[in-house]
């Protein structure tokens, strides 16, 4: 029996762990200690920091693993590259992993290879950040260089906001600098794919739903297909291929954020892992193959092909709460009616569990995936689901209507 090591045991790694078990693999899960759902599905658990490269390498050697992978997180990517390189396993290289998990290194690699992107500076102090913003011109985006899920990212419209944005970006970062970049205009989309032997063998752009509030920006979901022109789709693929070459990514999934306007595309950033927020599940519905399975076979050194079929439009969004509190009711009978109509509804918590007010993508309560053609259709279903979950004695629908958060999805 082959052995696969999966880094992370959170909600975005659970489907990967479950798929490995379904494939008959001995599944070894590594994660920091905590109440993580993935532990329950593992054959063996190592409670380690997935960023501790040497500790994970020792565990991998002890278990004589045949492959290593993760999904939905950048945190473990560098360690995966390190273990793959040390043990001669298929997967992203250590150098490429370090490049794609440091936004400043990534942007420098983009610039050297001619990838279209935002102009940027690094800043190691708030004064340097102010100088960079002044040079670029407001508004600017100030980012933590080593995070994902829109954490540590602030849109700054004037100099008075730079210091706080700098402090927010530095908080929780392991790097001594932040990224200050120009604010691009256009439409933000997502792109997911796979690279083997240096070439994209699968690529699928998709709509991206983002919650834009007064103080927070949170990725909320995605929709397939992306209805851009053929010329634009070719340009997106050209730019992502350039980004792959610039960063050296290979033998791994590709997840990218891209701005489009007219027939032009600008790559904001790329990752050497699959996207979160239900992207693999949407790929399965739209393209007709299980993306988690493809990732696992690739990690085990098998030849992976991406034959597509069906192309059924589908969309997904996260369920969130606008307030801190506890889940006080889940109306299962009503949820079951929604599921019977073909909508996938997953809840991460049960009655009595504490939930956090939405601040980033990790504050999810669950998700909804539906076979729909428009975001408005999906939102109607989301409202039905919100009526089925109560926090602090009120349904999510009621709480959102009462909330003073001003938002829109872009």
**pTM (2 d.p.):** 0.92
Q: How far apart are CA 147 and CA 124, in angstroms?
A: 17
Question: How does pLDDT run across 374-394, given as a tens digit for each residue?
Answer: 999 999 999 999 999 999 999
Question: How does pLDDT run across 261-288, given as a tens digit for each residue?
Answer: 999 999 999 999 999 999 999 999 999 9
Q: How far apart are CA 150 and CA 410, in angstroms?
A: 14
Count of other CB atoms within 10 angstroms of residue 185:
7
pLDDT, mean of residues 349-366: 92
Q: How confident is the model at residue 219 (pLDDT cuts 50, 70, 90)?
A: confident
Q: How far apart are CA 211 and CA 193, in angstroms?
A: 24
CA dihedral 231, 236, 239, 245 (to 10 degrees): -120
Domains along the chain?
A: 3-89 (3.40.50.20), 118-182 (3.30.1490.20), 188-299 (3.30.470.20), 314-402 (3.90.1170.30)
Q: How confident is the model at residue 408 (pLDDT cuts 50, 70, 90)?
A: very low
Judge contact between 346 and 367, C-beta under 8 A. Answer: yes
Question: How does pLDDT run across 104-147, given as a tens digit for each residue?
Answer: 999 999 999 999 999 999 999 999 999 999 999 999 999 998 87
Rg (CA), the chain: 21
- Residue 281: its pLDDT value, please? 97
């Amino acid at each position: 029996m082959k052995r696969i090591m999966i880094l992370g045991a959170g909600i975005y790694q659970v489907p990967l762990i479950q798929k490995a078990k379904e494939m008959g693999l001995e599944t070894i899960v590594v994660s920091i200690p905590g109440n993580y759902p993935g532990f329950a599905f593992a054959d063996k658990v190592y409670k380690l920091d997935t960023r501790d490269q040497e500790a994970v390498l020792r565990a991998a050697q002890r278990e004589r693993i045949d492959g290593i992978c993760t999904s939905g997180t950048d945190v473990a990517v560098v360690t995966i590259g390190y273990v793959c390189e040390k043990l001669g396993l298929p997967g992203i290289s250590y150098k490429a992993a370090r490049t794609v998990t440091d936004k400043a290194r990534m942007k420098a690699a983009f610039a050297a290879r001619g990838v279209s992107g935002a102009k940027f500076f690094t800043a190691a102090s708030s004064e340097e950040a102010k100088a960079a913003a002044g040079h670029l011109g407001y508004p600017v985006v100030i980012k933590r260089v080593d995070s994902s899920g829109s954490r540590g990212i602030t849109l700054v419209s004037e100099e008075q906001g730079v210091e706080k944005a700098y402090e927010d970006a530095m908080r929780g970062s392991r790097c001594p600098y932040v990224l200050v970049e120009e604010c691009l205009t256009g439409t933000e989309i997502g792109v997911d794919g796979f690279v083997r032997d240096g070439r994209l063998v699968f690529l699928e752009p998709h709509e991206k739903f983002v919650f834009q509030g007064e103080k927070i920006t949170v990725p909320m979901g995605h929709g397939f297909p992306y209805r851009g022109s053929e010329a634009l789709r070719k340009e997106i693929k050209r730019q992502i291929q350039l980004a792959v070459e610039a960063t050296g990514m290979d033998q791994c999934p590709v997840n990218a954020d891209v701005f489009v306007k007219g027939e032009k595309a600008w790559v904001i950033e790329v990752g050497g892992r699959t996207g979160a927020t239900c992207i693999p599940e949407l790929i399965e519905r739209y393209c007709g193959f299980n993306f988690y399975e493809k990732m696992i076979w690739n990690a085990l050194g098998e030849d992976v092909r991406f034959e597509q079929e069906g192309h059924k439009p589908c969309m997904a969004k996260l369920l969130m709460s606008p307030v801190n509190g506890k889940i006080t009711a889940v109306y299962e009978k009503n949820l079951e009616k929604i599921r019977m109509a073909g909508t996938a509804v997953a809840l991460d918590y049960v009655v009595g569990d504490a939930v956090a007010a939405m601040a980033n993508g990790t504050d999810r309560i669950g998700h909804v995936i539906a076979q729909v053609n428009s975001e408005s259709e999906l939102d109607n279903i989301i409202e039905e689901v919100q009526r089925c979950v109560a926090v602090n004695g009120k349904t999510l629908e009621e709480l959102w209507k009462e909330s003073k958060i001003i938002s829109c999805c872009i």
